[in-house]
Amino acid sequence: MRNEPFEVRKIAGNIGAEIHGIDISGDLPEETVAALRKAWLEHLVLFFREQDLPPARFHAFARQFGETQEYPFVKGLEGWPDIIAVAKMENEKVNFGGVWHSDTTYLEKPPMASMLVAREVPPKGGDTMFANGYLAYESLSAGLKKVLDGLVGVSSSAKADVSKTREDRIQSDGTNTGKAKETLIARHPAVRTHPETGRKALYVNTAHTTHFDGWTVQESKPLLDFLHEHQIRPEFTCRFRWRVGSVAMWDNRCALHYPLNDYHGYRRIMHRITLAGDIPR
């Protein structure tokens, strides 16, 4: 569909849209930024192709949507502390963040949004999948919704499945502040209300949610296992194939993502910016 001054093309039934006919490398008019934000809130993740975004331009684009923030475990690029390299080298077997998750929910104020730009991609593989947290919640039974509406999830930065995906980058690019060895913990509603759309989204993820507050890990596990499987049902997801110059921006408040690790022997390098969020309610 045409949505001046750009075109929106959905890539799946329930999440994700490519934006065509726009160059995001320069300052955008306020009305264009507003239109992009409207499309982003509707589709949860937007994709752009063939964009020329060196760090300064990438940073300027991000700042039109919010305040950037630094990642606690990996230092940023030289001169750009809030832009990190998300990389897997030819000799590495584990990819950064290679598990379904919403970014850094172990922070008191998790990021509102994340943005990636592709610098180097493998000849095949390395796609990223996204899942719709609104539909994950809305498709549950009334009884389970009632239970979840009263629960608080505990998120930790030290869950084994995700912490091991940071090891290569911490070894090569870890921060010098001591945070690389620090365990960060935060408590957030299992169901959060999006501050801009007013919709409720399931807000737990297998990478960071360890248990429900007031429940033991063992008591929490069966329900969390069900929710983690439920929230990535195929009809809730989309899949994006990267090319050099591709850009993605997604809403961490209502979407999960998963970078696939199916390109051993090849290099994949992305640059990432996160935008500051609020305390989930």
Per-residue confidence (pLDDT) for residue 172, from 0 to 100: 56
Model pLDDT for residues 134-166, shown as the tens digit of each residue: 999 999 999 999 999 999 999 999 997 765 555
As a whole number, mean pLDDT of residues 16-31 equals: 96
Which residues, listed in sequence order, are joined to residue 17 by a DSSP beta bridge?
10, 46
Q: What pTM was estimated for this model as a whole? A: 0.93
Burial of 179 per CB tally in 10 Å (0-12, 13-18, 19+): middle
Extract the runs of DSSP E, i.e. beta strands, from 57-215.
68-69, 83-88, 113-120, 128-132, 152-156, 185-189, 191-193, 200-202, 209-212
Q: Which domains does the chain have, with CATH numbers?
A: 2-275 (3.60.130.10)
Considering the chain, what percentage of its residues have pLDDT values greater than 70? 91
As a whole number, mean pLDDT of residues 79-85 equals: 97
Query: Quick check: 37 pLDDT over 90?
Result: yes
Which residues, listed in sequence order, are joined to residue 186 by a DSSP beta bridge?
155
As a whole number, mean pLDDT of residues 264-273 equals: 98
Model pLDDT for residues 166-221, shown as the tens digit of each residue: 555 445 555 554 455 689 999 999 999 999 999 999 999 999 999 999 999 999 99
What does the angle CA 248 – CA 133 – CA 258 come to, to the nearest 5 degrees? 45
Residue 139's H or E segment, with its range, is none
Radius of gyration from C-alpha coordinates of the chain? 18
Per-residue confidence (pLDDT) for residue 85, from 0 to 100: 96
Structure tokens at 83: 């832009």
Give the phi and the psi of residue 65 in degrees, each rounded to 5: -115, -10
Pairing mode, if any, of strands 152-156 and 209-212? antiparallel
CA-to-CA dists, residue 195 to 192, 206, 248, angstroms: 9, 23, 21
Model pLDDT for residues 116-133, shown as the tens digit of each residue: 999 999 999 999 999 999
Please state, in angstroms and rounded to a whole number, the distance separating the CA atoms of residues 208 and 72.
Answer: 15
160-174, 230-244, 246-260: range with lowest mean pLDDT: 160-174
Per-residue confidence (pLDDT) for residue 182, from 0 to 100: 82
Assess whether the previous peptide bond of 5 is cis (omega < 30° from 0).
yes
Just list the catalytic residues.
101, 103, 257, 272
Per-residue confidence (pLDDT) for residue 163, from 0 to 100: 54
Pairing mode, if any, of strands 200-202 and 191-193? antiparallel
Per-residue confidence (pLDDT) for residue 169, from 0 to 100: 43
